[in-house]
Amino acid sequence: NGLIVGNTYYVRVYGYAGATGTFDICVMEAPAPPANDDCANVVPEPLAADGTPLQFSGTTVGATTEDGPFSNNPTVWHAFTLSECATVTVSYCGTSPAFDNIWINLGDCPSANFTPAGTYENISCGDGNYTVTHANVAPGTYYIPVGNFDANTNGAYNLQVTAIACPPPPANDDCANATV
What is the residue type of 12? Answer: R
Give me the percent of the chain exceeding a pLDDT of 70.
Answer: 96
For residue 35, is pLDDT > 80?
Answer: yes
Question: Is the separation of the CB atoms in 56 and 143 below 8 Å?
Answer: no
Rounded CA gap, 176 and 153, in Å? 52
DSSP 18: G
Please write the tens of the pLDDT for every residue from 44-100: 999 999 999 999 999 998 888 877 666 678 889 999 999 999 999 999 999 999 988
pTM of the shown model: 0.79
Mean pLDDT of the chain: 88
Question: What pLDDT is attached to residue 69?
Answer: 67
The string of DSSP codes covering 73-112 is S-EEEEEEEESS-EEEEEE-TT-SSPPS------B-SSSS
Question: Is the separation of the CB atoms in 47 and 81 below 8 Å?
Answer: yes
Question: What pLDDT is attached to residue 1?
Answer: 59
Question: What pLDDT is attached to residue 141?
Answer: 95
Please write the tens of the pLDDT for every residue from 127-144: 999 999 999 999 999 999
Question: What pLDDT is attached to residue 89?
Answer: 96
